Amino acid sequence: MKDYSDYCLLKHNTFGMDVKARRFVEYDSEDELRMLIPTLRGDVLHIGGGSNLLFRGDYDGTVLHSGIKGISVEDEDEESILVRVGAGEVWDDFVEWAVAKGYGGVENLSLIPGEIGASAVQNIGAYGVEAKDVIVLVEAVELQSGQKRCFGTAECDYAYRQSIFKNQFKGKYAVTHVTYRLSKQPSLKLDYGNIRTMLEDKENITIADVRKAIIDIRNAKLPDPKVQGNAGSFFMNPIVCREKFLALQKDYPQMPFYDTDNGVKIPAGWMIEQCGWKGKSLGRAGVHDKQALVLVNLGGATSDEIIRLCDTICKDVFNKFGIDIHPEVNVI
């Protein structure tokens, strides 16, 4: 277990904010987590890879980070395999492992930054797949009592970028392990965006081909946090009712959209670009020039500068489209 006071969080937030935590603890097992719970005082923030966080300043509380590792096969039959993964494993290491073994289901989620714990909290998603499609069990420890609880997928209340851990149980549980069901006879999901076009020269497309295509798409569009601080998509894509969508479509026939069970999802990145923000900046906070959903730290930006840019964009999108967009990034 690592336990530090006045700990620099620079390495733990991809936006590159130079802030400190009063206390920072990294535990390596469920038992260590339970032992540490009685010592927690004041505010507690559990982080993963720090790729979805914007710190407004120093954190006057305890930042927890899971160092629980391990990928183990729990069960298998002819069609599928159940894999239990420690919350502190890096998400893309798990995807790489699965693809190398030929187990399908997570290849479309290649290169998403962050860790296993966050995949279950955040219901990470990309290219037509969400973590909830493969999660079967989430093991967690209640931070108040130290009690363990297992959540089946249905109990997690999953929806687009939502879960019970972000709503009703926000800050109440630390995820320790996640079990995924992967397929031994993968069915490929190629219908999002230009994945199929990228692979059209290939015969017998494999999950390794899909992973490679997705890595190429992401690398071409998304800025590398090691080069330019950012937290991936800064905003969530809004879901509007069908009437609102049809009215907007009359004015903007070229507007991209995705039908969902709860309404029509409209890409916030497209709306932000329509507002003229793509590649523009306000102070040292910028809008990425290849993907307008991503706000970037142009170098030394303060969180206030990022938030000022975020607020201005939200106002402009509302004035043009009458739609409220909201940050996906957690502002602390």
By beta-carbon proximity to ligand EPU, the closer residue of 21 and 112 is 112
Residue 308 Cβ vs ligand EPU, minimum distance, rounded to whole Å: 20
By beta-carbon proximity to ligand EPU, the closer residue of 63 and 124 is 124
Is residue 270 part of the contact set for ligand EPU (CB under 6 A)? yes
In this structure, the strands spanning 53-54 and 330-331 are parallel
SS (H, E, C) the chain: CEEEEEEECHHHCCCCCCCEEEEEEEECCHHHHHHHHHHCCCCEEEECCCCCEECCCCEEEEEEEECCCCEEEEEECCCEEEEEEECCCEHHHHHHHHHHHCCECCHHHCCCCCEHHHHHHHCCEECCEEHHHCEEEEEEEECCCCCEEEEEHHHHCCECCECCCCCCCCCCEEEEEEEEEEECCCCCCCCCCCHHHHCCCCCCCCHHHHHHHHHHHHHHHCCCCCCCEEEEECECCCEECHHHHHHHHHHCCCCCCEEECCEEECCHHHHHHHCCCCCCEECCEEECCCCCCEEEECCCCCHHHHHHHHHHHHHHHHHHHCCCCCECCEEC
Residue 269 Cβ vs ligand EPU, minimum distance, rounded to whole Å: 3
By beta-carbon proximity to ligand EPU, the closer residue of 295 and 301 is 295
- Total residue count of the chain as it appears in this document: 332
Residue 299 Cβ vs ligand EPU, minimum distance, rounded to whole Å: 21
By beta-carbon proximity to ligand EPU, the closer residue of 192 and 252 is 192
Is residue 13 part of the contact set for ligand EPU (CB under 6 A)? no
Residue 270 Cβ vs ligand EPU, minimum distance, rounded to whole Å: 4
Tokens standing for residue 124: 């990470």
Q: Near ligand EPU by CB under 6 A, which window of 3-11, 30-38, 87-95, 270-278?
A: 270-278
> Annotated catalytic sites, by residue?
161, 233, 328
Segment 117-146, which members bind ligand EPU (CB under 6 A)? 126-127
The closest residue (CB) to ligand EPU is 232
Segment 169-208, which members bind ligand EPU (CB under 6 A)? 192-193
Is residue 293 part of the contact set for ligand EPU (CB under 6 A)? yes
By beta-carbon proximity to ligand EPU, the closer residue of 101 and 166 is 166
Is residue 273 part of the contact set for ligand EPU (CB under 6 A)? yes
Is residue 24 part of the contact set for ligand EPU (CB under 6 A)? no
By beta-carbon proximity to ligand EPU, the closer residue of 96 and 142 is 96
Cβ–Cβ < 8 Å for 331, 56:
yes
Phi, psi of 156 (to 5 degrees): -80, -5
Is residue 269 part of the contact set for ligand EPU (CB under 6 A)? yes
Segment 215-254, which members bind ligand EPU (CB under 6 A)? 222, 232-233, 236-237
Is residue 14 part of the contact set for ligand EPU (CB under 6 A)? no
Residues near ligand EPU (CB under 6 A) are: 126-127, 192-193, 222, 232-233, 236-237, 256, 267, 269-270, 273, 278, 291-293, 328
